[in-house]
A = this chain, B = another copy of it.
């Protein structure tokens, strides 16, 4: 029987916060917002719950910090795709990334959570991204700001819906999980094409 040496991992404050937030994100994505309890987050991060409080002050601040981080990630993904591509494929590509962001990265779950908890005002970052898409690639395609806004509203809503319930819905009607997304992307593409033909 040896006395075990009390090994601790000591992180920089930033690393510690990051570690905790990523654990929290994992919990949010696969167990839902209700799972964001202090001890559970701590356990997920491999630290004591006191450590979480040391870095965030309260569980509530963990949650808002998580929201902000996820929003930043979401917007970054979209803007990156919007900027880097060739102007031709931009619209399709942005559509692609939009669905990706809302699906895999948990964007839909985040947005749903924000909406359900009434914190949707935090989405100011999103407004900027939307504005950039409207005045950028869509303007280049000759789409008026007004119509462009409508298309974006529809596209984002659709991506949101698909990201949130698309897979469940498909399985519910006996289809492969991705079929909702595929159908939605095709539908959106057709609608965009129609909008361009005027």
**A172 contact set on B, CB distance < 8 A:** 120, 123-124, 126-127, 130
What 6 pairs between A and B have smallest CB-CB spacing? A161-B161, A157-B161, A160-B161, A150-B183, A32-B116, A112-B112
**Would B154 and A115 count as touching, CB distance under 8 A?**
no
Which residues on B sit within 8 Å (CB–CB) of A111? 164-165
Residues from 100 to 143 in A contacting B, C-beta threshold 8 Å: 109, 111-113, 115-118, 120, 123-124, 126-127, 130-131
Contacting residues, chain B, for A186 (C-beta < 8 A): 150
- Distance A123 CA – B167 CA, assembled complex (angstroms): 13
Cβ of B31 and Cβ of A118 under 8 Å apart? Answer: yes
| A72 contacts the other chain (CB 8 A) | no
**With A34-B33, A112-B112 given, is the CB distance from A158 to B156 under 8 Å?**
no
Is B165 a contact partner of A120 (Cβ separation < 8 A)?
yes
Q: Are B116 and A113 in contact (CB under 8 A)?
A: yes
A and B contact pairs by CB, cutoff 8 A, 20 listed: A32-B116, A32-B118, A33-B33, A33-B116, A120-B168, A124-B172, A130-B173, A151-B187, A153-B170, A153-B173, A153-B183, A154-B158, A154-B183, A156-B161, A156-B169, A157-B165, A157-B166, A158-B158, A164-B164, A194-B194
Inter-chain CA distance A190–B193, complex, in Å, is 12
CA distance A82 to B126 in the complex (A): 37
List the B side residues contacting A115 at CB < 8 Å: 109, 112, 164-165, 168
Binary B-proximity of A164-198 (CB < 8 A = 1, otherwise 0): 11101110110100011001101100110010000
Chain B residues with CB below 8 A from A161, complex form: 156-162, 164
A93 at the A/B interface (Cβ < 8 Å)?
no
Q: Is the CB of B158 within 8 A of A179?
A: no
Q: Tell whether, in the assembled complex, residue A157 and residue B158 are in contact, meaning their CB atoms are under 8 Å apart.
A: yes
**A116 pairs with B112, CB closer than 8 A:** yes
